[in-house]
Structure 1
């Protein structure tokens, strides 16, 4: 699990084809890996990957064809920036929200508009993802925990403060770029429970009255 609080912006050092898929070599740009062991999880732009090798200035991770086809990792090139976060420890502060590192779908940057010192960004997502996103709820974009401002159909908006823009890959994004989207895991469980509401004894009417359905 992760928190969606980016710890470093690394860069892709090398993409190594291996047996039909890919091994990703990531320069962590000073992120301390002294407490990381082989087999530990590291989120790369919101995608949970397993460290299979620890290198002088980073780590390597194997990426399956499934992951390459369903996330932005398949579009990466050497030198591209990536958001990095080490796995959450039980004693850590939960500064963002609980993030699994399992991407639900690809979104697209629609626009960025200045708003005082901040920026308002609009994203578009597929229908299968959009219905999980709620105003004032949480969403994870490229591994970054953000609060949703508003939702309109398949589009939603967020506010990015200067610190977030400067210390994540958002500073390199442009309109039309693809992003990894992970919805709030609570929304998924609520939908699952409502779907089996009668069998599980859940009061679906109560959930609807309180905005959960």
Structure 2
């Protein structure tokens, strides 16, 4: 489980590309290495991956074809920065909201507004995701727990505070970028339960 509170944005050191499998190597800050072991879960851009090796501060992850096809990890190059979060431990503060690290799909950035002391990022809103996205709802975007500020017919936005911009890759975000989206699990459960009950009632 993750909380959507990104610990750091880290550059990719190396990518080994095999058929249907990529191996990513990153040098993590010492603060993220303490207590880390092979087999542990870490989210990169909100995608839950398993640590496969640790050499001092360099850590590797295998990314299988299904994850590459579904997430923006497929667009990574050496030097690209990714948001990094270690899995939450029992007793940790949950400053964001519960995330599984299972990305539901990609959404594109369609507009960025920068009024004084603010950054507002607008994302496309597809029919697939529309039932789960509403004002003041939670959303996971590139592994960051964010609150939806406004929803329009074909787009939605979030406001980013300076701390989020400083710690995450959102300081580099551009219009057209593909962002990993994870729907809030509680929202998904409620929406799909209601839809199923309404469908059963209509069929009765």
TM category, shorter: over 0.9
Aligned residues: 200
State how far apart, in whole Å, the 2-side matches of 1:58 and 1:125 are. 37
In structure 2, what is the equivalent of residue 210 of structure 1?
A: none
1:19 positional shift: 5.0
Residue 109 (structure 1) aligned with residue 106 (structure 2)? no
Superposition pairs of residues 37-186 of structure 1, within 5 angstroms: 37-186=37-186
String of CA shifts for 1:44-82, please: whole Å, max 9, x gaps. Answer: 010000111112223111111111111000000001000
Contact 1:130 1:155 in 2 (8 A): no
The alpha-carbon distance between structure 1 residues 198 and 162, as it changes in their structure 2 partners (threshold 3 A), is: closer
Of stretches 23-32 and 180-189 in structure 1, the one that deviates more from structure 2 is 23-32
| Structure 1 residues not aligned, in runs of 5+ | 201-213
| Structure 2 residues not aligned, in runs of 5+ | none
Contact 2:131 2:191 in 1 (8 A): no
String of CA shifts for 1:171-210, please: whole Å, max 9, x gaps. Answer: 111111110011111111112322443899xxxxxxxxxx
Find the residue that maps to 2:49 and give its secondary structure. Answer: strand
State how far apart, in whole Å, the 1-side matches of 2:33 and 2:78 are. 21
Find the residue that maps to 2:186 and give its secondary structure. Answer: helix
Structural RMSD (CA) = 1.7
The alpha-carbon distance between structure 1 residues 122 and 20, as it changes in their structure 2 partners (threshold 3 A), is: closer
Contact 1:106 1:126 in 2 (8 A): no
In structure 1, what is the equivalent of residue 192 of structure 2?
A: 192
The alpha-carbon distance between structure 1 residues 180 and 84, as it changes in their structure 2 partners (threshold 3 A), is: same
State how far apart, in whole Å, the 1-side matches of 2:132 and 2:154 are. 11
